[in-house]
Structure 1
Amino acid sequence: MFRRASLALTNDVLALSAITLLIQGCTLMSFGVFLPALAADFGGRAGSAATAFLLTMSLASLAVGWALDRAGARPVLLTGIALSAIGFGIAAGARDLLGLTAAMAACGLGVGASTIVPGIAIITRHHGTGRGMALAIFLGAAVLAGAVVPPFVGGAMAIWDWRAAMLLCAVAMALACSPLVLLVPNGRIDAQARKDGPGFRPTANVCRLILASTLLQLAINGVLFAAVDGLMAQGMTQSGAVAAYSIANLLGLPALLLGGMLADRIGARPMLIATALLLALGTVALLSPQAMGMAGIAAFVLIWGVASALPGQSGSMLLADVVEPSAFSRLLGLNTAIISLIGALAPALTDQMRVWGDGYGLPVLTYAGLALLAAPLIVGVRPLEAKTG
């Protein structure tokens, strides 16, 4: 066991993990910390900048495989780091919403090109027997980013302001991440030959699962970018709200381990159904701190923190159960692109629903309803074994 763990902790895995932790931590995971201050300076409509960021991050992910195959790992990662840092730096000096949105769109391209998708591709290409553990370490760093970095961002904002904090993040990404690229193998990520198979059809099973996954991603993103502001609106201080948000994200680490063990025992479909129901309950809990005090905060942190980490894990496992093996990678990419692009609409939708409902009640209940609606869709998904057995 120790031997396998040590094999996974190679220089490239550690470097890719550190890059993802810092870049996603400063940008994606800290956007909820930045948004209240951004909204105050940009007329309450800063959610459009978050949506632009998420959209371009998703679009960049679609092109990363092609770029890795033609340019190699290091040029792609360096380009992504540069776009992330430059985009965030320009956003720090933006004076109007259009400039902020454009800068965050550039940053989103960089994050998509330097974190999750290239990391998984590079690790999968260069690791053999220790690949599973290496991926666990890498994906764990992405979860840890949401717990470790936002408190530092919140502290910098308390000392200076959001512009200085954002500029500090940009400098940190550029200076810390660029040298780490030298630890990553520079070879091209050769495309694997694909076998022709009958499984790439948009079957009813696949459509149900993609729709359910999309609803869950919208529900997660809707809370992810509103949790800090939503807690502050109920009387919490900024430092307290950021701490609660960070702890909720940190719970994703043990949740992934426990979720994997449960999914192996009870199956991916029951696990994903339970996750959808738990996510709905955890989302509603965001409205409870004002009435329940610390008990409400604890309920949100515990329930939402656990549930929000699980759909990607059990959802991917269920997709593997309902499609032919020859079609899995293509359908996984399609599913990821769809849920990412539609999920990117959540911050802008939250802004609009807050206007309609004069607060967070309407958006929170809407996102809880979306998670709840996903459950019966998942019930209707039938694994291939069920058809023959």
Structure 2
Amino acid sequence: MSTPSRAVAGLALAVLTASVGTSAANIALPALVTAFTTTPGHVQWLVVAYLVGMSTVSVAAGYAGDRWGRRPILLTGIAVFTVGAVVGAFSPSLTTLITARAVQGVGAAVMTALPLALAKDLVPEGGTGRVIGLLGTTSAVGTALGPVLGGALIGWGGWASPFWMMAVLGAAAFPLAGSVLPAQTPPRARRRFDALGNLLLAAAIAVFALALTTPVSIGSTVALLVCAAALLIAFVAAEKRADAAVLPPAMLRRRAIATGVIANVLVSTVMMTTLVVGPYALHDGLQLALPLVGLVMAVGPVISALSGILAGSVVDRASSPRIVTVALVIVTTGAVALAVLPAWWGVAGYVGALLILTPGYQLFLAANNTHMLSAADTTQRGTVSGALGLSRNVGLITGASALGTIYAALTAGTGTAAISSLDGARTVFLIAALLAGIATGVSALASHGLPRRAKRPS
């Protein structure tokens, strides 16, 4: 195996470990309610702490890679993730476990942000899309494996078993990445670390997540959202004055990067909505038993795994900006299909909608990531990768909390009647389709008038 191939394998294992970590612990939530004699609302903070940890560090992780070298920062992230998993497995209380998940989220932010920048460094221009597609496929496989392996291990060794699995994966990823990634000295950003910007951004994300996750009342939710908006405004103002902005305004003024970030937030919201609302549509709406719900839900990650590399190959042969728009049209069509087809054709309609939505999502990831990284300066690719991770996580938080809350409000007080669940899911998926349509419009406007990329000789 050539050096670039071995390096890509090391990056893929890091991405796999982080994606397994995202989903494996979630399967333990019911067991944790019993183990710590608590409520589902309290246990849900394991999910929020992980996402917030990832979101608040994503951009800083990219900057650190640009400044001090992507290889050592990636290895540090793997080590932090692994230590968090070990602490989680030994946790004597729910508070300790939630803290350990936040630490894991910090490590996972590095493990998901830097492989994209490293791939751009290590792979020739014509193969970047394929590698990014491979990393997307690896992420999908890890997300699918997490609940399956975690559920099997819990039945054997209790709630701590998924954390031991994550620790083993991290312990394997560290030496592999350390041995196969070249110890190159990347171009380094000679900027100071923007501590104030990072603090304001982290606070804005944390308050935003708190507002969407713990809605005590409408008044408290609105107050928290206003607070998050104020922190975001303060962050923007600080960035304009900072000598070492965490998200450099000049970088964000580039059309490809700004529109890519917006589209990534909206599409991630759509995809998380399918993961949150989909089980209710299948179980309550279509009356499937839970084991069958799991099988149907696994269709999406399987399709992602099969279509990721193909999507990357398409991107390598076509103009990325225009492929982004085409992919978003497919995602929008898939979201509309999720709203309409299950009521007509049942489970077959739901699976058919996934067959449209998921390849479109993989094509969007490969094209959008490639386009944004190509538009960035060499010294800012880590920062752009961090911005991609940040925007993705903000979308995941929004989809899981906001649109999940809309579904719950629409179906409240009506039990689990099939028509009620299908109507609620239909409305939420139509909202998701609207968000995807907005992303399509933004992408189309941004790519209008761009020159077509010259066709590469075969």
Fold-level similarity (TM above 0.5):
yes
Which runs of structure 2 are paired with 1:56-205 in the superposition (5 Å)? 56-68=53-65, 75-91=72-88, 99-113=96-110, 115-128=111-124, 132=128, 134-159=131-156, 161=158, 163-185=159-181, 187=183, 189-191=185-187, 200=251, 202=253
Q: Is the 8 A contact 2:66 2:381 kept in 1?
A: no
Partner of 1:368: 433
Partner of 2:266: 215
CA distance in 2, matches of 1:247, 1:348: 23
Residue ranges of structure 1 left out of the alignment (5+ in a row): 1-5
2:342 corresponds, among 258, 268, 288, to 288
Q: Which amino acid letter does the alignment assign opposite residue 343 of structure 1?
A: G
After superposition, the CA RMSD in angstroms is 4.2
Q: 2:55 aligns to what SS in structure 1? A: helix
- Give the C-alpha shift of residue 252 in structure 1: 1.7
CA distance in 2, matches of 1:218, 1:375: 14
Partner of 1:312: 365
State the Cα deviation string for residues 222-263 of structure 1 (Å, max 9, x = none).
Answer: 324554565444544444333333331121244334545666
Q: Which amino acid letter does the alignment assign opposite residue 169 of structure 1?
A: M
- Give the C-alpha shift of residue 111 in structure 1: 1.0
Structure 1 residues 218 and 327, CA gap change in structure 2 (3 angstroms): farther
State the Cα deviation string for residues 275-334 of structure 1 (Å, max 9, x = none).
Answer: 33234235437x938x7443134224423332332322233456589x698999599457
CA distance in 1, matches of 2:262, 2:56: 19
- Give the C-alpha shift of residue 350 in structure 1: 4.5
Structure 1 residues 52 and 363, CA gap change in structure 2 (3 angstroms): farther
Number of equivalenced pairs: 373
CA distance in 2, matches of 1:318, 1:121: 12
Greater displacement, 374-383 / 127-136: 127-136
Partner of 2:39: 42
CA distance in 2, matches of 1:326, 1:69: 9
1:342 matches 2:400: no
Partner of 1:303: 356
CA distance in 2, matches of 1:47, 1:370: 26
Q: 2:40 aligns to what SS in structure 1? A: coil
- Give the C-alpha shift of residue 57 in structure 1: 1.4
Partner of 1:19: 14
Structure 1 residues 174 and 51, CA gap change in structure 2 (3 angstroms): same
Partner of 1:3: none
- Give the C-alpha shift of residue 63 in structure 1: 2.5
Q: Is the 8 A contact 2:69 2:186 kept in 1?
A: no
Task: Give TM-score scaled by structure 1 length.
Answer: 0.75
CA distance in 2, matches of 1:373, 1:351: 20
Q: Is the 8 A contact 1:88 1:167 kept in 2?
A: yes
Q: Is the 8 A contact 1:123 1:134 kept in 2?
A: yes
Structure 1 residues 143 and 345, CA gap change in structure 2 (3 angstroms): closer
Q: Which amino acid letter does the alignment assign opposite residue 242 of structure 1?
A: G
Q: Is the 8 A contact 2:312 2:366 kept in 1?
A: yes
Q: Which amino acid letter does the alignment assign opposite residue 365 of structure 2?
A: G
State the Cα deviation string for residues 118-153 of structure 1 (Å, max 9, x = none).
Answer: 223334434457853555544432233234443222
CA distance in 1, matches of 2:169, 2:163: 10
CA distance in 1, matches of 2:257, 2:178: 40
Q: Is the 8 A contact 1:57 1:108 kept in 2?
A: yes
Residue ranges of structure 2 left out of the alignment (5+ in a row): 191-248, 413-420, 453-458
Task: Give TM-score scaled by structure 2 length.
Answer: 0.65
Structure 1 residues 125 and 170, CA gap change in structure 2 (3 angstroms): same
Percent same amino acid among aligned pairs? 18
Partner of 2:2: 7
1:356 matches 2:409: yes
1:274 corresponds, among 324, 329, 332, to 329
Partner of 1:249: 301
CA distance in 1, matches of 2:87, 2:2: 40
Q: Which amino acid letter does the alignment assign opposite residue 179 of structure 1?
A: P
Structure 1 residues 37 and 370, CA gap change in structure 2 (3 angstroms): farther
Structure 1 residues 39 and 306, CA gap change in structure 2 (3 angstroms): farther
CA distance in 2, matches of 1:260, 1:317: 9
Q: 1:167 aligns to what SS in structure 2? A: helix
CA distance in 2, matches of 1:12, 1:262: 23
Greater displacement, 212-221 / 234-243: 234-243
CA distance in 2, matches of 1:81, 1:330: 16
Q: Which amino acid letter does the alignment assign opposite residue 108 of structure 1?
A: G
Q: Is the 8 A contact 1:272 1:311 kept in 2?
A: yes
State the Cα deviation string for residues 142-179 of structure 1 (Å, max 9, x = none).
Answer: 23323444322233345555x14423323322443333
State the Cα deviation string for residues 339-381 of structure 1 (Å, max 9, x = none).
Answer: 2352142323245334423366364443333223333333332
CA distance in 1, matches of 2:261, 2:89: 36
Q: Is the 8 A contact 2:269 2:395 kept in 1?
A: yes
CA distance in 1, matches of 2:260, 2:117: 24
